[in-house]
């Protein structure tokens, strides 16, 4: 049986290390502070008895749990990222432990009147009677994806200490910069050496995902001209009005707050404007590749139309693809999803198979030759002050990893 207190202590030791990534940095990892946790994980992998532990110049960590069976078993992997989102601060995280949650409001921060309420976050009611780990309302928690790291580390330690559980060779990988779309960019698939892998980066218990968004980012720049407002008639060109025109030209209801399931969106997530120049930052998402291409084409068309209407270059756009739907790469090897589903059912967990409204390292890794479905890590409300994770969910995910290892070995036993 897993040691609940040890796993809690392990998770808390991870989330209290600030590992926020930075999309404006060109280094890998994008922030030097990610090395603080990377080095800690490297040392811990050695301490629990993993083999071939390595950390490269870009902070990618890999390790091996050797097979303890004589028959041939495909090598499988488990992967999580240790950076946290730049959407909200990850500095000075002060976790709160709510034991035997009663289903009522949780006061995260009395002084600032920050409340985690089931009236707004209905998923809380799934975890009545359980132990919740929350923020203090001033930071994110970092369960995305330090819960995944905790689960992988705890599962490997458990398998090492319980050799009666038979398994093939298992690889683990911890990556930087997933939150800014670069987690798989420098991941050495050949060195990792797995036939397939699973990212532990989902949300509620039971989630099992092998479809994700096609994703792109767009930077849109508007050019204006500043003169003294008292003498501006016929001379001033206010770039912020151009930006407003562009925003209004896109479908207003095709945004994250109005979409769900397989519906794609345009998401304006940052704006920086003055009269002389305004910049908008968008992400573009769609599960359907043709619709994804159409979204990019629409943005480009709006730019062209505006420049034509004003008879000058008032707006410029740069669109970069980020990742693609892993479904195309996973469907030919659906047995890897079946094994994860069987593992959950063996543990009386109801699998929730649905598309990811986002992406994981697995989406890029699948296109690099490592098919990589995504499994729940247990957290909720990622990237903000209301993030929380039930300790029991971490324990269940840890058990799923162990069960996948066991079932894979059984499946290939002659």
β 352-353/207-209 pair status: parallel
* C-alpha torsion 195→146→286→313, nearest 10: -120
How many whole angstroms separate alpha carbon 111 and alpha carbon 44? 37
Residue 329 CA to residue 344 CA, distance in Å, equals 22
Which member of 20, 83, 144, 387 is catalytic? 83
**120, burial (CB in 10 Å: exposed 0-12, middle 13-18, buried 19+):** exposed
Cα–Cα distance for residue pair 102/15, rounded to 1 Å = 24
Angle at which helix 4-15 crosses helix 143-161, to 10 degrees, equals: 140
Question: How many Å apart are CA 246 and CA 307, to the nearest integer?
Answer: 11
Whole-number Å distance between alpha carbons of 320 and 322: 6
Residues 20, 144, 177, 178: which is the catalytic one? 178
Among residues 249, 241, 360, 239, which one has the least CA distance to residue 295? Answer: 249
Other beta carbons less than 10 A from residue 102's beta carbon = 9
Cβ-contact 139, 94 below 8 angstroms:
yes
Collapsing DSSP to helix, strand or coil, 301 comes out as helix
Distances (CA, A) of 130 to 6, 53, 127, 196: 17, 35, 5, 33
- Asked about 178 being catalytic, the answer comes back as yes
Cα 222 off chain centre by: 31
DSSP label at 265? E
CB of 82 within 8 A of CB of 19? yes
Longest CA–CA separation in the chain, Å: 86
Please give the order of strands across the beta sheet that includes 315-323.
Answer: 265-273, 277-286, 214-223, 315-323
For the question of residue 83 being annotated catalytic, the response is: yes
Ramachandran angles phi, psi of 119, nearest 5°: -65, -30
Which of 33, 78, 63 has its CA nearest to residue 177? 33
What's the DSSP call for residue 256?
G
Residues that are catalytic: 83, 178
């Amino acid at each position: 049986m897993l040691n609940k207190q040890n796993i809690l202590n392990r998770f808390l030791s991870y989330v209290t290390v600030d590992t926020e990534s930075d999309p404006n940095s060109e280094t890998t990892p994008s922030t030097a502070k990610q090395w603080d946790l990377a080095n800690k994980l490297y040392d811990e992998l050695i301490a629990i008895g993993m083999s071939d532990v390595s950390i490269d110049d870009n902070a990618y960590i890999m390790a091996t749990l050797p097979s303890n069976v004589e028959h041939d078993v495909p090598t499988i992997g488990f992967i999580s990222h240790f950076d946290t989102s730049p959407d909200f601060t990850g500095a000075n995280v002060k976790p709160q432990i709510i034991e035997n949650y009663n289903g009522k409001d949780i006061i995260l921060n009395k002084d600032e009147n920050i409340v985690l309420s089931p009236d707004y976050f209905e998923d809380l009611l799934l975890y009545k009677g359980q132990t919740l780990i929350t923020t203090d309302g001033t930071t994110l928690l970092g369960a995305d994806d330090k819960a995944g790291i905790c689960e992988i580390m705890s599962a490997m330690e458990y398998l090492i200490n319980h050799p009666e559980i038979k398994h093939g060779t298992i690889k683990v990988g911890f990556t930087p910069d997933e939150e800014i779309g670069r987690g798989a960019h420098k991941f050495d698939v050949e060195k990792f050496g797995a036939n397939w892998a699973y990212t532990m980066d989902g949300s509620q218990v039971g989630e099992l995902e092998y479809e994700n968004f096609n994703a792109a980012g767009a930077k849109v720049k508007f050019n204006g001209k500043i003169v003294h407002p008292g003498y501006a008639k016929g001379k001033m060109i206010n770039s912020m009005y151009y930006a407003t025109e562009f925003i209004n030209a896109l479908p207003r209801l095709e945004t994250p707050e109005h979409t769900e399931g397989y519906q794609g969106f345009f998401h304006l997530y940052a704006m920086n404007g003055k009269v002389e120049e305004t910049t908008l930052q968008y992400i573009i998402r769609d599960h359907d590749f043709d619709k994804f291409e159409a979204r990019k084409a629409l943005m480009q068309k709006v730019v062209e139309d505006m420049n034509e209407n004003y008879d000058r270059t008032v707006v410029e756009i740069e669109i970069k693809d980020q990742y693609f739907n892993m479904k195309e790469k996973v469907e030919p090897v659906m047995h890897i999803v079946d094994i994860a589903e069987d593992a959950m059912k063996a543990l009386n967990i109801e699998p929730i198979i649905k598309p990811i409204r986002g992406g994981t390292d697995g989406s890029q890794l699948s296109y690099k030759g490592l098919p990589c479905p995504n499994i729940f890590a247990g957290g909720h409300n990622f990237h903000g002050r209301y993030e929380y994770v039930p300790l029991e969910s971490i324990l269940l995910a840890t058990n799923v990893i162990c069960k996948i290892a066991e079932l894979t070995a059984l499946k290939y036993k002659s």
